[in-house]
A = this chain, B = another copy of it.
Amino acid sequence: MSSPLRLGIAGLGTVGIGVVKILQRHADLLALRSGRPVTITAVSARDRMKNRDADLSAYRWEDDPMAVATAPDVDVFVELIGGDAGIARDSIETALRAGKDVVTANKALLALHGQPLAELAESLGRVIRFEAAVAGGIPVIKSMTESLAGNRITRVMGVMNGTCNYILTRMESAGLPYEAVFEEARQLGYLEADPTLDVGGIDAGHKLAILSSIAFGTQVSFDAVEIEGIERVSIDDIHRARDMGYRIKLLGVAQMTPRGLEQRMAPCLVPADSPLGQLVGGTNMVVIEGDSVGQIVLRGAGAGEGPTASAVMSDIVEIARGVRLPVFGQPAAGLVAAQPARTAVPAAYYMRLELQDKPGALAKVATVLGDAGISIDRMRQYGQHSPASVPVLVVTHKTMPEAIDYAIEALPRTGVLVSDPVELRIEEV
């Protein structure tokens, strides 16, 4: 058996401790599977005195993660500090320059600085692995980079923020408005310190940007992701969508279109009986479509100690086995800068309009939709909602987003709406 692979772990939060526990619990199994022992040499975290749920006495303690990144007895630097800059980025760069491979769970860092980091690593002959950065324990990076390597990827989709899916699911099951469930989630500790990272779609957007890069051979570009959070999803829309056979999900979609690379993370309707529609609670799902494989669906826990540590371990075992792949699946120097593009793929849309309850109101709406070139698949008018308004739901036939934009702008000018129209794309899944 070969010499051990020696790890230095920086960051001993939930994930870091999860990794330590797996290494302690399964040392023999990991050695068998890796072909060599995998050991921890040094660990580092902010507060040495903090009570942690693991025995760290066998490992050298470093107050400074930089000392781990440069330690001569460390082969792989495991960065679990987090954050898109500062010590996380600095220590990774230092580790690469010191000849270490890097394993990280840091989605923000990769989404924002993945390209220069990949170029640096590859120029030094080092690898950076990051299975845990996207969708926790779900093997999505490996599936896309390796299992689907024979495919031109045509579309990647995913529900990749468990907190948002929890909130949307709970709104439906409890019939509660967004604000109430948001408050519940906060009290349950489900939200980040800055909750807009979750509910604003930013965390999920980071993940989508990483997947896009691998899928389409483009430089990772978080800035090009169109992002909309779940804050404006109303309980009304959740109920109405359900009536029409749909569920609302914070769905990331990336696809290469004739106009360029479309990347969007926004609330969408999906059929209630599709795998994405049936996903409840904090579970994640990634859907990958390739020209040969068709559609592959991957489902699992997107967060938590065990699942995330499991993903980190898959990267560590990969390096222990001597597997050395380019960071984004093909050489970083050859990745092209994608032309960001709004979707060029027609879709059905859901619209909810609150109309004045007076003769001719519906005719005016229908005229605007007709002028926009939008044809209607289904329309439902409900009984009076408040004294002076009636909700009208429209599901359109497939149409271009520009037509929807035109309608959304023109509809208020009819003078028959009592509130702003709501539109949500119905993603074909």
Contact = CB atoms under 8 A, between A and B. Distances in A.
A310 interface: yes
A114 interface: no
A26 B33 CA distance: 33
Nearest to A288: B300
A321 interface: yes
A139 interface: yes
A310 B298 contact: no
A260 B105 CA distance: 37
Given A139-B296, A292-B22, A307-B292, A131 B147 contact: yes
Given A138-B296, A297-B298, A317 B149 contact: yes
Q: How many protomers of this protein does the assembly include? A: 2
Contacts of A147: 131, 139, 142-143, 311, 314
A324 B34 CA distance: 11
A299 B324 CA distance: 28
A118 to B, nearest CB: 14
B22 A150 contact: yes
Contacts of A325: 321
Nearest to A298: B298
A351 interface: no
B275 A292 contact: no
A292 B131 CA distance: 15
28 contacts: A18-B292, A26-B151, A32-B331, A33-B330, A35-B331, A137-B294, A139-B143, A139-B147, A139-B296, A142-B146, A146-B314, A147-B311, A148-B310, A148-B314, A149-B314, A150-B312, A150-B316, A275-B275, A275-B299, A293-B300, A293-B306, A293-B311, A294-B307, A295-B300, A296-B298, A298-B299, A299-B299, A323-B323
Interface of A: 18, 22, 26, 29-30, 32-35, 131, 137-139, 142-143, 146-152, 217, 273, 275, 278, 290-301, 304, 306-307, 309-314, 316-318, 321-326, 329-331, 334
